């Protein structure tokens, strides 16, 4: 449990303290409200609500909205309260029917801090998740630790740190887009930190272990645990009639996340998803996918992680740091980051480093 807690706190400290980089965001997009969202219809009565720049700081989940005869089912309601409120405004623009169920795909809080807002707007709403997701949220004191600190001090200290970073970037002659991203983060600190102070943990009301099917008139909505992947309790939402799948962070584009993950089982889950023969895949972050090209790339990457970690251990590497040093994944850099140095940094710190740790841990636990 200690290991899980350490992993969680590491992820969260990175999620909310380290700058996140937009994927080549045109500067104009930074003028938009940070939590603004756009809605795309992907099938009759099925919508995806996402941010115009998915990796703008702080990252917030894609939201899937399924409008039924009498109610609405939502997959991953939203992140921080202002994001969730904007999503709810969009849902109300789409339909006057109430949201009755929110499926929470996994524990990362940028996928579930918005539940409190839903409970205000839709008092009857129920939140469902895998049992492991609820457990992970319960064992995590991230929010409490943040809220125990004085908000203004936290803002002031962060601003000093980020501004120093900006000066350094300027001195180093970093590209204009990189400076624009850092300035965007500095501009957002007071709003984002205040929003964190208003957030509450998004625990589920009901949990399951394997599968739940929701029947709504002609429509069936399958909520399935396909195995451990990005987290211990990832679930996918599958619409068999429309052939649409929402994956949570089992799939994230352009660069995946790899904290507390199980790469070998993750490959099996991805193969299962692929075999469903979807027409649209909605990832946890990034654009909707209508083919399997990115899925195939992800499978190739995770297989490489597993094989190379095993090779390093077989060659005598006996602790996690040595293994991390020995496993080289740089042949994937260009294919995931397109050579963008900021995405490369993200790929290194959010995926490569933690995922090799996960592969090593799974290997040693299996012995």
Binding site for Zn ion (CB under 5 A): 108, 249, 284
Nearer to Zn ion, 78 or 323 (CB): 78
Minimum distance from residue 220 beta carbon to Zn ion (Å): 26
The CB-of-56 to Zn ion minimum distance in angstroms stands at 13
Is residue 318 classed as helix, strand or coil in its secondary structure?
coil
- Decide: 53 and 22 in contact? Cβ < 8 Å: yes
Q: How far is the CB of 62 from Zn ion (least distance, A)?
A: 8
- Residue 113 Cβ, how far from Zn ion at the closest point, in Å? 11
Q: Which residues pair with 238 in a beta bridge?
A: 222, 245
Nearer to Zn ion, 37 or 327 (CB): 37
**Strand segments (E) across 54-161:** 63-67, 72-75, 99-103, 126-130
**Cβ closer to Zn ion: 108 or 262?**
108
DSSP secondary structure letters along 18-70:
S----SS--GGGGGS-TT--EEEEEETTEEEEE-SSTTSSSP---EEEEE-SS
CB of 59 to Zn ion, least distance (A): 6
| CA distances for 95 relative to 78, 92, 98, 152, angstroms | 18, 5, 8, 39
Q: Which is nearer to Zn ion, 63 or 313 (CB)?
A: 63
| ∠ Cα 176 179 184 (to 5°) | 125
Q: Which secondary-structure segment (H or E) carries 281?
A: strand 280-285
Nearest to Zn ion of 166, 195 (CB atom)? 195
Task: Measure the CA–CA gap between 220 and 14, rounded to whole angstroms.
Answer: 37
CB of 111 to Zn ion, least distance (A): 5
Task: Output the furthest CA–CA distance in the chain (Å, rounded).
Answer: 62
- In the complex, least distance from residue 303 CB atom to Zn ion, rounded to whole angstroms: 23
What is the smallest separation between the CB atom of 55 and Zn ion, expressed in angstroms? 11
Name the burial class of residue 249, with classes exposed (0-12), middle (13-18) and buried (19+) by CB atoms within 10 angstroms of its CB. Answer: buried
Cis previous bond, 38, omega within 30:
no
Backbone angles phi, psi at 56, to 5 degrees: -65, 145
Q: Closest CB to Zn ion among 71 and 234?
A: 234
Q: Which is nearer to Zn ion, 263 or 284 (CB)?
A: 284
Minimum CB distance to Zn ion smaller for 99 or for 250: 250
On whether the CB atoms of residues 40 and 18 are closer than 8 A, the answer is no
Q: Measure the CA–CA gap between 262 and 137, rounded to whole angstroms.
A: 18
Q: 74 to each of 47, 100, 104, how far by Cα in Å?
A: 10, 8, 9
Tokens of 165: 């970073």
């Amino acid at each position: 449990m200690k290991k899980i807690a350490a992993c969680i706190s590491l992820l969260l400290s990175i999620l909310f303290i380290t700058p996140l980089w937009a994927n080549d965001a045109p500067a104009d997009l930074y003028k938009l409200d940070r939590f603004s969202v756009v809605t795309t219809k992907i099938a009759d009565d099925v919508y995806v609500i996402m941010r115009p720049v998915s990796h703008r700081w702080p990252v917030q989940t894609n939201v899937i909205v399924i409008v039924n005869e009498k109610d609405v089912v939502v997959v991953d309601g939203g992140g921080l309260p202002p994001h969730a409120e904007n999503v709810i405004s969009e849902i109300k623009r789409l339909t006057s029917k109430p949201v009755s169920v929110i499926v929470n795909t996994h524990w990362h809080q940028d996928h579930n801090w918005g539940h409190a807002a839903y409970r205000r707007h839709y008092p009857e709403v129920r939140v469902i998740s895998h049992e492991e997701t609820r457990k992970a949220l319960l064992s995590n004191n991230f929010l409490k630790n943040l809220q125990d600190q004085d908000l203004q001090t936290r803002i002031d200290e962060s601003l000093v740190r980020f501004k120093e970073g900006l000066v350094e970037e300027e001195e180093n002659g970093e590209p204009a887009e990189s400076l624009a991203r850092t300035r965007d983060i500095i501009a957002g600190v007071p709003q984002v930190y205040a929003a964190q102070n208003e957030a509450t943990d998004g625990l589920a009301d009901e949990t399951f272990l394997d599968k739940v099917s929701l029947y709504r008139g002609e429509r069936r909505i399958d909520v399935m645990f396909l195995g451990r992947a990005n987290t211990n309790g990832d679930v996918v939402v599958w619409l068999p009639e429309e052939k649409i799948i929402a994956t949570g962070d089992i799939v994230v584009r352009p660069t995946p996340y790899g904290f507390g993950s199980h790469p070998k089982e993750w490959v099996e889950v991805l193969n299962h998803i692929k075999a469903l023969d979807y027409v649209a895949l909605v990832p946890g972050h990034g654009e909707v996918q209508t083919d399997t090209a990115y899925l195939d790339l992800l499978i190739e990457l995770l297989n490489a992680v597993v094989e190379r970690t095993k090779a390093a251990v077989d060659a005598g590497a006996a602790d996690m740091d040595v293994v991390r040093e020995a496993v080289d994944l740089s042949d994937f850099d260009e294919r995931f980051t397109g050579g963008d140095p900021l995405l490369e940094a993200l790929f290194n710190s959010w995926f490569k480093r933690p995922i090799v740790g996960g592969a090593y841990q799974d290997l040693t636990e299996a012995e």
